[in-house]
A and B are shown apart, each in its own frame.
Chain A
Amino acid sequence: MNRKMAQLLALAALFGIGLLGPWLAPSYISQFAQLWLFIVLALSWDIMGGQTGYNSFGNIIFFGIGMYVSAVAQVGLVWPVAEYTAAKGGGTEFVFNADQIHAGLALGIPLGGLVAMLAAIVLGALLLGMRGHYFAIATLGLAVATAELAAGWDYIGAGSGMVTPTLPGDMNGPVLFYYLSLGLAIVTILVFAWVYSTRFRLAINAIRDDEDKAEALGHHTTRNKMTAWAISALFTGMAGAIYGNLSGFIDPHDIAFNAEIGVWMILMAILGGKGTLWGPIIGAIVFFISKELFWTYLLGWQRVALGLLIVIIVVFFPEGIMGWVRERWPHLFAPPHLDDEEDDETPAGADEDKEAAHA
């Protein structure tokens, strides 16, 4: 079967399941919404970690930034933010009507993504000169530092967190956020599929495979790395904005800048297969189900199980599910090389160059 057709079919199936989700399992609608957001998180981690080879422990920063920026924008449209957070969002005076909620979300979600993207560009200028584990540890340190800073900032509620706007009684919150999450996930998958079909993927893969050589070949490696991280941050930020509304409460340590969720992103991508489009999606689904099972049946020990899972995945299955599938059925799932794209995308001149090189 044609590769592109198969991918479109898989996407359509995913979308179909997504649309029908609320009818199929109405009581799990919040979990399903989370799953879609986790897919976004895994995919956007992978463009840095899997495709560019820069393993960020700090993508959670963008998640938290998106969450807080969106919440502040949503509240700020209607009420003074400082008083709102001081009152812990409680009291009877801070009410929102449906229009205000819709306007807040329409402003907050893109704004959250954009501010996160801006943060990625600034941080990228500082950090992306580092290679390998230095980058990893620096981003980890930054993530924890951001959590501490957010927990000390009174404007956004400091350590006691911030409540996202409460929906009026006649609005169905879970369904609204479910479809927002689904929409974001589908958009993210499409955007990443497009990004990976361009030469940009080859450029960032070159950085992953050998950065010095890529630079010697004249690639703007730093610019490419920053672009990749900015794309990653944009979607992570928007996912954070929706996640904050979904949970209804933003805690700086446990939700917004939780370093553990930062590790989940990595784990999902590795579990499914780093550096592929479908790997992070599959990884997110498998991881999310096992996480929910751990949290349901192993409460109290769930992190022990999770730690064990991390060790097992990293040590025994570093190539992930997609890697295993590719090894098992190489003719069906071989990594997309240029052959796939050359048919329609290589400019006419390139073939002549190739022939000239052969001659």
Chain B
Amino acid sequence: MQNLQLLLQAPVFNIQLLLDGMFIGAVFALAALGMALVWGVMNIINVSQGEFVMLGGFIALMVAEAGFSPLLGIPLAALVLFALGWGLYKGVIWRIVEADMFTSLLATFGISIMLQQLMNEVFGADVRTAESGLGVWFLFDGMVTVTQIKVLAFILSFVIGLALWLFLKNARLGQAIRATAQNARAARILGIDTDKVYAATYAINAALCGAAGALVVMAWSIHPYMGLPYTLRSFMIVIVAGLGNLAAVISAGLGLGMAEQFAGFILGAEFQLAFVFLLLVAVLVGRQIALARKRQYLK
């Protein structure tokens, strides 16, 4: 609790935590957008979400190690993950779109375990980070440090989210995705190739996570077993924000990022993850209690 006093005595630390939380929260929101998309359209909770983020990070890392700017890794990671997502859909996911949700939970969990150890074998278990080559801003007489890559990650997350929104609203495929989400059977009757729509949805989700991962590796760090927290964060954001609301997803993401930074600072870094997971349970229990008063269930 000493740290709490520190926060009260030196308000400038609050600004640091708020900013850090906002920056990482935007990336959480990006992954959560993908999860909301897949959940809403295909009725699948994708547990391998965090592993897609991790893969995106490793691709950006490879780009950096090959001597290019890791910024190039952002579009490349998105592209590669798009292809991977499409492939996974064609290999596995199409079989479980119609199955009950528990099947898809377990199957994507299996995929996530596979990707974890695959990356562990290929890249090793170390914590890695890629140097973006961007500078650092010092604010408030050097009390608050802001790395420019975090700001860039923040802005890019917004740009990508906006692009997704425009795509879903105006593009032909985007409209088909929304139609399928509303009623897959009706969409099929009207001539929409729902199989292709599902494949595209899953691939777009993977691409979003890939881009998020490339930002994570530059602004923060990655390792092969980082996936599950990202998955559960996405899940939490989607539950709080709902499936169809882009602005809510982003604000929930930012809120989670900030709450997590403060919890990590006050309780100590070793309890930061515990806080995230307990917050998830608390959110679910809270929703459940609110619903139970109306004799409804969280389902």
Interface positions of A (Cβ within 8 A of B): 55, 126-127, 129-134, 136-138, 140-142, 144-145, 148-149, 151-152, 159, 259-260, 263, 266-267, 270, 300-304, 306-311, 314-315, 318
Contact A301 B102, beta carbon cutoff 8 Å: no
Per the bound structure, the CA–CA distance linking A149 and B271 in Å amounts to 7
Contact B277 A131, beta carbon cutoff 8 Å: no
Q: Mark B145-189, 1 if CB is under 8 A from A, else 0.
A: 000000000000000000000000000000000000000000000
B residues in contact with A149, CB < 8 Å? 271, 274
B residues in contact with A55, CB < 8 Å? 102, 105
Known contacts being A133-B102, A315-B95, is A304 close to B114, with CB within 8 Å?
Answer: yes
Contact A133 B110, beta carbon cutoff 8 Å: no
Contact B288 A129, beta carbon cutoff 8 Å: yes
Contact B107 A259, beta carbon cutoff 8 Å: no
Contact B280 A129, beta carbon cutoff 8 Å: no
Q: Which of A136, A263, A270 has the most CB of B within 10 A?
A: A136
Show 12 A/B contacts (Cβ-Cβ < 8 Å), sorted by A.
A129-B291, A131-B297, A131-B299, A136-B102, A138-B284, A141-B281, A148-B277, A259-B228, A267-B106, A301-B121, A303-B116, A304-B118
Query: What's the nearest-Cβ distance from chain A to residue B46, in Å?
Result: 12
Query: What's the nearest-Cβ distance from chain B to residue A314, in Å?
Result: 5
Query: What's the nearest-Cβ distance from chain A to residue B284, in Å?
Result: 5
Contact A318 B113, beta carbon cutoff 8 Å: no
Contact B280 A138, beta carbon cutoff 8 Å: yes
Per the bound structure, the CA–CA distance linking A307 and B116 in Å amounts to 10
The answer to the question of B72 belonging to the interface, with a C-beta cut-off of 8 Å to chain A, is no
Closest to B99 in A: A318
Query: What's the nearest-Cβ distance from chain B to residue A147, in Å?
Result: 8
Contact B92 A315, beta carbon cutoff 8 Å: yes
Per the bound structure, the CA–CA distance linking A125 and B115 in Å amounts to 35
The answer to the question of B220 belonging to the interface, with a C-beta cut-off of 8 Å to chain A, is no
The answer to the question of B141 belonging to the interface, with a C-beta cut-off of 8 Å to chain A, is no
Contact B114 A307, beta carbon cutoff 8 Å: yes
The answer to the question of B298 belonging to the interface, with a C-beta cut-off of 8 Å to chain A, is yes
Closest to A311 in B: B110
Query: What's the nearest-Cβ distance from chain A to residue B69, in Å?
Result: 32
The answer to the question of B270 belonging to the interface, with a C-beta cut-off of 8 Å to chain A, is yes
Contact B288 A130, beta carbon cutoff 8 Å: yes
Contact B299 A136, beta carbon cutoff 8 Å: no
B residues in contact with A263, CB < 8 Å? 106, 109, 113
B residues in contact with A266, CB < 8 Å? 106
Contact B299 A301, beta carbon cutoff 8 Å: no
Known contacts being A134-B299, A301-B117, is A310 close to B110, with CB within 8 Å?
Answer: yes
Contact A137 B112, beta carbon cutoff 8 Å: no
Query: What's the nearest-Cβ distance from chain B to residue A33, in Å?
Result: 25
Closest to B96 in A: A315
Contact A310 B109, beta carbon cutoff 8 Å: yes
Contact B284 A132, beta carbon cutoff 8 Å: no
Query: What's the nearest-Cβ distance from chain B to residue A54, in Å?
Result: 10
